[in-house]
Amino acid sequence: MRSGCVKTQLEDASGHLQITGFLLPGEIIGMDGLLNNRHVSHAIALENSEVCVMRLDDLDSISAHLPVLQQQLRRLMSKEINRSHTLIMNLGSLRSEQRLAAFLLNLSQRLGVLGYSQHEFVLRMSREEIGNFLGLTLETVSRLFSRFAREGLLRIQQRNVLLLDINALKTLAGTDCA
């Protein structure tokens, strides 16, 4: 991704959609297609976005001459695997408020790495999409945002978020959100 925000999702035979991620600039879309040259997930832009499309053959050819590119690709694949492991652990073991706190902290950290504010940002995804991703209902996500605001952890107005107490969110999450 060069710019924007994209969600990835899977669809089962009955048409049920499961959001699997929200990708930001610098992150790679489409690694699920490397095994069988067929993508099982769909990528949907949540705002105006720009991507750099590369054919796998071209990537293989270039990386054969640039060992640093091979290292970077391995690093990015490892990062994606770790992200998936963290998500599975969070969905299986965290309470709803911990999930949302961890989600906000993770997004904050990723935006910070890109040079954006870690404290103030716009959620490009809806509350319903956040809930789908975290295994929560829309109502639970909305209720938790209201609770976090009442407790002084954040200020939220529609999709504009200002994290007021990152340390308290970290304590609430009770996990490494990187």
Query: In terms of domains, do 101 and 164 share one?
Result: yes
Task: Clarify whether residues 38 and 112 are in a common domain.
Answer: no
Beta strands at 17-23 and 42-45: parallel, antiparallel or unpaired:
unpaired
DSSP secondary structure code for residue 33 in this structure? G
Give the span between the Cα atoms of 41 and 20, in whole angstroms. Answer: 8
Confidence of residue 21 (pLDDT cuts 50, 70, 90): very high
Per-residue model confidence (pLDDT) at position 175: 66
Q: What is the pTM of this model?
A: 0.85
Most confident of 20-34, 84-98, 153-167: 153-167
pLDDT at site 27:
87
pLDDT of amino acid 39: 81
DSSP state of 31: G
Please state which of the ranges 42-46, 64-68, 105-109, 150-154 shows the lowest mean pLDDT.
64-68
Q: 113 and 174, same structural domain?
A: yes
Task: Spell out the residues 6+ positions from residue 109 whose beta carbon is closer than 8 angstroms to its own.
Answer: 118, 177, 178
Same domain, 100 and 178: yes
Q: What is the pLDDT of residue 32?
A: 78
Provide mean pLDDT across the span 115-134: 96
Overall number of domains in the chain: 3
- Specify the residue for token string 């832009």: 45
Range of the domain at 80: 57-93
Same domain, 157 and 100: yes
Whether residue 107 sits in one domain with residue 158: yes
Question: Binning pLDDT at 50, 70 and 90, where does residue 177 land?
Answer: low
pLDDT at 84 over 60: yes
